[in-house]
Structure 1
Amino acid sequence: MKIWIDMLTPKQVLFFEPVIKALKERGDEIVVTSRHYREAELMIRKRQIKAEFVGAHGGKNLVSKLSASLDRTEKLTELFKDDLPDAVVSFSSPEAGRVAFGLGIINVCVSDSPHATAVSRLTIPLADCLLSPWIIPDKAWTQFGIDRNKIQQYKAIDPYVWLSRRDLKNNSNSALNIDHDKPTIVLRLEESHASYMLNSEYTQEFALIKRVVEEFRNHNIIILCRYSEQIDLVLQKFKGRVIVPTDLVDGVKVLQEAKLFIGLGGTMTAEAALVGTPSISFFSGSFFVERYLISKGLLTKPRDIDGVIRVSRNFLRDDKLKKQMRIKAGRIRSGMEDPVDTIIKRLDILMREKLNQQLVRK
């Protein structure tokens, strides 16, 4: 088979990398596309994945988002119109979904984010198959127009894909220049350019950073930004008081080194919880993966900044907590399955169904 994989974010690169490897090992032809987007480009180059960058992220403005998506759709059409892949696999890529629908390509969609309603409305109804974590009920997806029989669940949280391929017992230090005699706090900023965060402002983020800096002066405070704009603003306001990596870091190593993680997004919060780092979510909304991790005792979600500071103090005071959380996280990971196998099996089924349909028409 010729398989097209469209990867738009760092999470998607880490998630699809073993899919690409497995498909190549069995002899499938793989074409990888992405877009010009800071963290995605850095991750693809770091992982040494051969990819064609088509189009760009549209930023935060609605008009620029629409224009960028239309431009990317047209460029992807030109790229594939004379040599169609058999199937495309994406993590709810609107452009890949539209091109697949228009050109008759099998469309396999992976998603754990029904809370991303704009993207879901554009992609889920067009999918030939939707693969999703088992903790997300079918009704969360059927509201977007997909038939229930097109949904297949896998028993895993998405970061399990790359965490299961890492030696989490190896606690080697990250490459960051920090004082290893001090406890480390990691903050991951929100995805403020995402469609479901367009009304978000940086006010809350910076109020949280300010409090953390004031309360925990004798700690390493690492701020992981998503965009160049965030890096510039954080350095402008907190330079000398926080550590702001300008290059991509090994997230797993940083999380293993941290005594506390505070997340304003989704993926790295789930990753930190599954690693077993004491973790706090300060995401402004709510989503299924977050609620699952809270129910398992791997994640805490205070109501406000005062609550974040109070829980942080408690976590940092407890020297036994991190070991306990790692043991608990390990038990939960041991009950998960590899979504890579599920994706490949579903691709094979869809391809056989398409070939059978073609034979019937003849």
Structure 2
Amino acid sequence: MNRRRRRLLITLGVVLLTTAGLFTANSSALWGDDDGRPLLLAHRGIAQTFPLDGVDNNTCTAARIHPPDHAYLENTLASMRAAFEAGADMLEFDVQVTADDRLVVFHDSTLECRTDGSGRIRDHTLAELRRLDLGHGYTADGGATYPLRGKGSGLLVTVEEVVAAFPDRELLIDLKNDEADEGERLAAYLATLPAERLATIGVYGGDAPVEVVRSRLPQVRATSRKIMKSCLTGYLALGWSGHVPGACRHTELHLPERYGRLMWGWPLLFADRMREADTRVILVAGDGPWSAGFDRPEDLETMPAGWSGWLWTNRTDRISPVLRP
């Protein structure tokens, strides 16, 4: 064997051994923890779901719900209580700021889609918003019937009321508008809470308001698209070595299952590494658009075996009995 061929074979052997070592070191089968159980994040409590095909930023999702099999309205105390009673481990809810500077729990920045009101949340006072019917616009048959109309009057609540209603539960606040002043308003309220309560509350949303919350209250677990992108690109570059970038620490990742497969050590070792970095990994169904959740028992077929991270769901009542019979 000539010297050139011998050198080529040695190089190839080193490459193969190195590659095998990298994959072994990042193998969930060898290193991941499969002894846990999934934790459930209840998205807006128990919500009315809707088909995702054709949905865009301007779609009124209340006008295309599935035929209701429950009477709960998202982001209301009743739907939140029902989610916890069904087995939720954490509650996510949406936040807007009113004309009188109150933090209210509502998804849309405008009122026309879901309620009998009109205009922006930002242009109405809390008292005005309390008079609206939150179920006014929900229909499953193109407007022929409105099964939830009249059932949402007076149900709008504030962030303070949600925090008080569930004093010992994990909460995740979604700042719906990418406005720095809304981050300032939320940070001012959160700063009034005792440290032990603040430890149970997370924040996510637009880059601008989340950055304000993180700068004012670095102890709060917070994330945004910018933070998640910084974390995941850094991990893709260096995660083969087991290194977890600083951007991944004390935060959370809303990760579509389809893209999680790209991560070193996916799924179990990746979740373990993030857990050691004090970061939650929340698995979102499919590609992750428009709040797709694990909402039906059949959706769980795509959940990684042995998954002990978080699952995003709009229907804790359907999913919890399957996971915890």
Richer in helix (by share): 1
- Give the TM-score normalised by the residue count of structure 2: 0.26
With normalisation by structure 1, the TM-score equals 0.24
Q: Which has the higher contact order (CA 8 A, sep 6+)?
A: 2
